[in-house]
Structure 1
């Protein structure tokens, strides 16, 4: 039984999701206390409960203490069973983070799976749908599995109501090298608005254009979604390179000016563009688990995040596999499975 203090390291829901995925992959049960101990509202939220329910469903697992607000639970994995599954968060909790919990175990299953996940598709503190579609899944497909993802309905905070469909055709994971991103091809910024004043999109795009001044005017575009998909707003910044597409995002929130949201997201993109790294700050920690399960592989990335350091510690505790990090001559960081 692996004992985990959920307040250590990143101290949020990632500890729980990574632990559940690793438990399914290695067969190691775990107990976690102080769940999300470093968050303003510690304990399990609805999206974390759904993530663990998903892990239990696909992995024949037993989980005691799985209730909203709980600060401790015990998880005992069974055998991963591929198939068709439907998970509903019931709030604007992230569909992408639920997927993160079960994706790699199902990528290594013995038959295909289809997942329907309902909840938030564009919400704070989580990757938007486009990141999964254009950034993460294309890299994972290079490792062997066939993956596809479809957005059937947008889901913004606080209403939620989004719906994604994911098809997973598993295969043994082959090691890959992701050390160069290749030549820059195209950049694009979209401001999505649904059921809110359209001028918010214009203000965001104007602020983003000031930071990304090298991008042409036609790269900046507002997107009006049906009002019934809202209320909601998301700013998506897409940088397509020869070997990877990186996405930075920002999400509208009451009390946060559109200009501030856009400036923050654009500065993150500008920082990535100024580096030579393959993986941005959000892709880096999501590559660790599949690379570790492949047994070998390497990728370059920007400055290591707390999420990444926490994930590395968990992977080593469950699997015995670690990572070696070294700064490269151009200021990026090389991550290698050891």
Structure 2
């Protein structure tokens, strides 16, 4: 039984999600105490409980402590079962995080699976759907995983109500690879999602962003939304490079001007463009687990670079090392971090 302290490192929900994912993949049971101890409301909230329930359904696990506000959980996994699944967070809590909890196990299963999810698709505290679709999923495909994502309905905080699905085709064996450079930028564009808000809000955000970055024409887009979606406001920039794509998102809030939203996004875009690391901070964080699984299967080592190593990332490294026989090494040269992940035979 692996024993984990949920208050270590960044002390949030990622310790739980990574543990659930790797417990399903490896068959190792775990117990975790002080879940989300560093959050304002510690313990399991609705989206975290949905992650636990989803994991139970996928592998038939036995659990103790799976209830709202619980700060202790015992999870004993059974065999992973491919199939058709449907999970509903029931709030604006992130359904993308629920998907990322069960995805590693299903991409190692013996046949294809379909997962339907309902809840928040665009949440300030979680990867938006477009990030998974454009940044994360392409890297998984290079590992050998077949994955198709579909956004059926946007779900914004605080109303939620979003719908998305994932079709997952496992590969026989994952193959790790290096991501050391992002390559030249092939396309850069912005999109404004302004649901159930005055049309002028989105127009002002895009116009201000265009002035800041020198973007115009087809680089400034307003996707069609359903009439009954929202309210919600998301300004996104996509930078499609030769090796990776980065999706940067800023959320509009009541009392925050359109120009301020655009200025915040422009600042993050310029920071990414001026960096030399291949992966943005969020993609670097989320890439660690599937990369480690590939090395667990196939051996060897793999590397990637990033401009920032967050608390989420360093915490994730520690949890992955508890479940898998891999080691992480992170070295900083100037402004760039080089992260190496190695299986046992490559440690020397």
- Return 97-106 or 33-42, whichever deviates more: 33-42
Root mean square deviation, CA, Å: 1.5
The equivalent residue for 1:184 is 185
In 2: Cα distance, 1:280 partner to 1:11 partner: 21
In 2: Cα distance, 1:14 partner to 1:236 partner: 24
In 2: Cα distance, 1:25 partner to 1:256 partner: 43
- Matching of residue 103 in structure 1 with residue 103 in structure 2: yes
The equivalent residue for 2:337 is 333
* 1:260-291 Cα distance to aligned partner (Å, 9 max, x none): 33322322221111112211011001110111
The equivalent residue for 1:194 is 195
- Matching of residue 28 in structure 1 with residue 28 in structure 2: yes
Q: How many residues are treated as equivalent by the alignment? A: 336
Shift in Å at residue 50 of structure 1?
Answer: 0.7
* 1:68-94 Cα distance to aligned partner (Å, 9 max, x none): 111111111111111110001111111
Contact map agreement 1:155 1:162 (CA 8 A) in 2? yes
Unaligned runs of 5+ in 1: none
The equivalent residue for 2:205 is 204
1:318 to 323, 328, 331: 323
Normalised by the length of structure 2, the TM-score is 0.92
Normalised by the length of structure 1, the TM-score is 0.95
Contact map agreement 1:18 1:314 (CA 8 A) in 2? yes
Is the alpha carbon distance of 1:74 and 1:243 closer, same or farther for their aligned partners in structure 2, counting shifts above 3 Å? same
* 1:231-288 Cα distance to aligned partner (Å, 9 max, x none): 1111111001111110010222334333333322322221111112211011001110
- Matching of residue 40 in structure 1 with residue 40 in structure 2: yes
In 1: Cα distance, 2:39 partner to 2:265 partner: 22
Shift in Å at residue 175 of structure 1?
Answer: 1.1
In 2: Cα distance, 1:95 partner to 1:262 partner: 26
1:185-334 superposed matches below 5 A: 185-213=186-214, 215-216=215-216, 218-295=218-295, 296-328=301-333, 331-334=335-338
In 2: Cα distance, 1:184 partner to 1:173 partner: 27
Shift in Å at residue 217 of structure 1?
Answer: 5.0
In 2: Cα distance, 1:277 partner to 1:298 partner: 12
Contact map agreement 1:193 1:224 (CA 8 A) in 2? no
Shift in Å at residue 47 of structure 1?
Answer: 0.6
Structure 1: 4+ residue segments shifted above 6 A: none
Contact map agreement 1:238 1:246 (CA 8 A) in 2? yes
